[in-house]
Amino acid sequence: MRGTTIWMKRIGACAGLAMLALAAAPARSAPATPSEIVAAAPAGDWIAIPAEDLLVMTLAPDAAGKPREVLIQLVPAPFSQGWVGNIRTLARAHWYDGTAVVRVQDNYVTQWGDPEGETPDKAKPLPPGINPVPPGDYVATPPAALAKRWESDVAAWRKAFHAALDKRDHDRAHAMLAALARGDAYADKTGFFAGWPYASDRTRFWPVHCYGTVGVGRGMAPDTGSGAELYAVIGHAPRPLDRNIAVAGRVVAGIEHLSSLPRGTGPLGFYEDPAERVAVIALRLASDLPEAQRPHVQYLSTESESFARYVHARANRQDAFFTVPAGGVDICNLPVPIRPTP
């Protein structure tokens, strides 16, 4: 991971991104749209997704015969690496080939895997090398750089707050409290690090479930779930899943092939008629494909000045028809910009 971060940059409080957005804007002549800022980002602000972190999932063509390809970036260390290892093993064994999308629950998830996975005598055997993963992998200790910035920001906020109280400057103290309350409902703070959105309670941090997040289906016990059953979020961010289910990655292209599928009519959106399922033709690591067939994708560095401007613009939109800037933005309304490598 890169050592710098916008986590809590420029602000001194606990509320995270929402407050970052309230910080001073970079000087500009006219409000730019978030997409203009992204389009203007210099080449050096873009980081290639390594081929060994990129999954290429080919679904059966649609009714009109059009191909459907979904690209998924695997989540980096220190999270979920047990499951990520299993997913690489399953992909290399071509295990996912012939499985199917079995469940589409509106405003929640599209899930794929072995339709007979729950039936012991019919389930497709897993290849050698698939290991159980301890639930401890759901969270991690923040890297030292993050923890240090957090502590120094909190200390600065406290100092300023106590100074306001000592001076009996109650207007300032109350404004600081009001700004503090512009936070995240699920965590003490949220932010970005090395290209991914995270939440934190100061002693631990964890990846968050946003639109397009790919997670590991599992049973009732937290150490179940091998990585053979995966889902992608296709609705409002189901943040209560954070720390309960492993984030394995995120869809970086082709989410529409998962989000626009007919919803299942069975409980939890499972397809009742096997004919409704969409076959997974192949799921490969890009690094296992011949060079000519590999997709090449980049993400905008979350440590770049372009990304800071993008966050500010999304939190304070005044372009196009926007007349009332929100003055804040939640972590899942800040999708990390992705593009095909030019």
Interface residues with a copy of itself (CB under 8 A) are: 13-15, 17-18, 21, 63, 104, 106-107, 135, 138, 165, 177-178, 180-189, 210-212, 218-222, 235-240, 242-245, 255-256, 259-263, 314-315, 317, 320-324, 326-330, 332-333
What does DSSP assign to residue 150?
H
Q: Is the Cβ of residue 95 or residue 299 nearer to a copy of itself in the bound state? A: 299
User: Which of 167-188 are b and which e, b meaning 16 or more Cβ less than 10 Å from the residue's Cβ?
Assistant: eeeeeebeebeebeebbbebbb
Q: Is 310 exposed, middle or buried (0-12, 13-18, 19+ CB in 10 A)?
A: buried
Q: Is the Cβ of residue 5 or residue 190 nearer to a copy of itself in the bound state? A: 190
Close Cβ partners of 91 (under 8 Å, ≥ 6 residues apart)? 55, 283, 284, 285, 288
User: What minimum distance in Å lies between the beta carbon of 3 and a copy of itself?
Assistant: 26
Q: Phi/psi of residue 337, each to 5°?
A: -60, 135
Q: Is the Cβ of residue 117 or residue 135 nearer to a copy of itself in the bound state? A: 135
User: What minimum distance in Å lies between the beta carbon of 104 and a copy of itself?
Assistant: 8
Q: Is the Cβ of residue 27 or residue 181 nearer to a copy of itself in the bound state? A: 181
User: Is residue 215 within 8 Å of 231, Cβ to Cβ?
Assistant: yes
User: What minimum distance in Å lies between the beta carbon of 242 and a copy of itself?
Assistant: 7
Among 296, 274, 278, 275, which residue's Cα sits nearest to residue 287? 296
Q: Is the Cβ of residue 50 or residue 219 nearer to a copy of itself in the bound state? A: 219
User: What minimum distance in Å lies between the beta carbon of 292 and a copy of itself?
Assistant: 26
* Residue found by looking up tokens 């626009």 in the block: 260
User: What minimum distance in Å lies between the beta carbon of 220 and a copy of itself?
Assistant: 5
C-alpha to C-alpha distances, 45 to 2, 48, 126, 170, 313, nearest whole angstrom? 13, 10, 40, 42, 17
Among 332, 209, 309, which residue's Cα sits nearest to residue 6? 309
What does DSSP assign to residue 289?
S
- Say how far apart CA 182 and CA 16 lie, in whole Å: 9
Q: Give the count of alpha carbons within 13 A of 165, CB side only.
A: 8
What does DSSP assign to residue 287?
G
Q: Is the Cβ of residue 92 or residue 172 nearer to a copy of itself in the bound state? A: 172
Q: Is the Cβ of residue 107 or residue 293 nearer to a copy of itself in the bound state? A: 107
User: What minimum distance in Å lies between the beta carbon of 186 and a copy of itself?
Assistant: 5
Q: What is the dihedral of CA 131, 133, 134, 139, to 10 degrees?
A: 150
User: What minimum distance in Å lies between the beta carbon of 285 and a copy of itself?
Assistant: 25
User: What minimum distance in Å lies between the beta carbon of 106 and a copy of itself?
Assistant: 5
Q: Is the Cβ of residue 28 or residue 322 nearer to a copy of itself in the bound state? A: 322
